[in-house]
Structure 1
């Protein structure tokens, strides 16, 4: 599940960065901007049927935290 999530994350932000892992602090990525944030929120809705509000999303820092949020809210 983790590898699939990393792949979906990279596709959503249009990244080919092979260094992205579950411990990556996604806001520190060169590709990260407000459009990337919206793309991730949309991907969570499409792929996982998870709606996350902006305030909750701002508190998440790593890919692992996003995946934990998915697991806790399915």
Structure 2
């Protein structure tokens, strides 16, 4: 979870396999992510998996969080 309570998705850099955290802003604004391992600018289109897959995972995590907080 980030500071605002949003779930955070982790993907891997296609060059060095460093873990990258994707936030709501990355998904909504299609912001590039700077890899901390190799310095590459990674866009969601060239990261492992498609944007659609990541959005599905993100929505599922958000729905799961909603269910847990409503109990």
TM-score by shorter chain over 0.5: no
Instruction: Decide which structure has the larger Cα Rg and report it.
Output: 2
**Which structure carries more helix by proportion?**
1
- Structure-2-length-normalised TM-score: 0.38
